[in-house]
Amino acid sequence: MAAKRRREVSHLIVENNEEKKELTLQQRLCKYCKIFTITSVILIIIVFILAFVVLPLIFMNTVKWQEWLIFHNHNVTPQNPEFRYPEKYNMEAVENLYVTVDLSSHLSLGVWYILPEQLISNGVTPEKDLNYTKVLFDENFPVVLYLHETNGNRITPLNMYKVLRRFFHVITIDYRSYGDSNEGNLSEVDIVKDVVFMYKWLKRRTNGEVFIWGHALGAAISTRAIAELQKEKIVPTGLFLEAGFTELKELLLHNDIIKFFSWLPWFNATVVDALEYNGFRFKTQEDVVEVNCPIMIVHAEDDHVVPYTMGEELFKTAQEKRNVTVQGSVSFYLFPGNLVYDHWRIYQAPELPNYIENHIDVCREFHRVSEETT
């Protein structure tokens, strides 16, 4: 009897022991599970901090990153550009030259001078020894200074030159650090200073009218340059804005990388304000009010780089905030999306030459009247 009881007790103890063992195994497993969870959480937090705190902070403090975001001056098409041989791009009667815009830092810009089409058909032959400077000075065609977009160089807008050279001597430049221009600090102030220099350089080489044509970032630079020239009471004959934007920080919100960060509470402090602090303004909507010559704006409805609503905004601002009588009129041509001109193909529009011709007339009339009244 007693022996049986003892056996039962010892059996109980054994069972108990096994239960304990099982428990500790479970506990151990749970411990691993906890460690795993904690590690994952820590990793996620680290990645989050790196991506959404450290990255914006580095961006905020690194001008080079900001430049990279705004200026796409490398790897643009065409690959391996040959600026010295415009004929390789089916462009005849083009002179390639370099203009020193800043003597102290020996900074030169690459320039193409494209003869007006009519001069070629009139027998001005683009021989090796043609004196382009003399042609520019003697031949009575208006001149247009062309400023390209961020994603290109002076070769990229070839097709637009073919339209423009029907009306103008076309002078097209590469900004500092673009194309085969010298490297320089890519600040808005410096680029605009170069363009202002080029405008004056050009004015000394012609008796004719000088227009400015800017595409996208080039539109922002044109407008800013005209606002700067205005401080010296210098007014170009007319301005063309192709796919212009209202201001840089609004345009950046359409950039996929930037959009990814835009929900952060510190987005404004680390991205938007940092750009402005480092002088990347490009506030065309403000600058356009300072433009004292007629403006023509063109935009394609399906432009997926610069939304057409920005061109529309520029038009509205230029119309409402400028005194049209004193500062000149502004026109806006929106090309329907089904024509798929997008950001780069407005040159295809059959109406474009008429619009340009009309704008030249509007500008002439404006300057004739304002000369009479002063």
User: For binding to ligand NAG (CB under 6 A), which residues are involved?
Assistant: 105, 131, 133-134, 137, 185, 265, 267-268, 323, 325-326
Nearer to ligand NAG, 250 or 312 (CB): 250
Closest CB to ligand NAG among residues 10, 325: 325
At 168, the amino acid letter reads: F
Measured from the CB of residue 367, what is the shortest distance to ligand NAG in angstroms? 16
Nearest to 225 by CA among 149, 312, 145: 145
> Closest Cα partner for 198 from 106, 108, 104?
108
Q: To the nearest whole angstrom, how small is the minimum distance from the Cβ of residue 131 to ligand NAG?
A: 4
- Using the minimum distance from each CB to ligand NAG, give the nearer residue, 190 or 303: 190
The distance from CA 128 to its chain's CA centroid, rounded to whole angstroms, is 35
Q: How far is the CB of 261 from ligand NAG (least distance, A)?
A: 10
Q: Which residues pair with 108 in a beta bridge?
A: 100
Residues in Cβ contact with 85 at an 8 Å cutoff, skipping those fewer than 6 apart: 96
Q: Decide whether 105 or 331 has the Cβ nearer to ligand NAG.
A: 105
DSSP E strand boundaries for the chain: 94-102, 107-114, 143-147, 169-173, 210-215, 238-242, 295-300, 330-335
For residue 292, count other CB atoms closer than 10 A to its CB: 20
Q: What DSSP line would sit under 256-304, residue for residue?
A: HHHHHHTTSTTHIIIIIHHHHHTT----HHHHGGG--S-EEEEEETT-S
Per DSSP bridges, beta strands 94-102 and 107-114 are antiparallel
Nearer to ligand NAG, 255 or 348 (CB): 255
Q: Which is nearer to ligand NAG, 123 or 265 (CB)?
A: 265
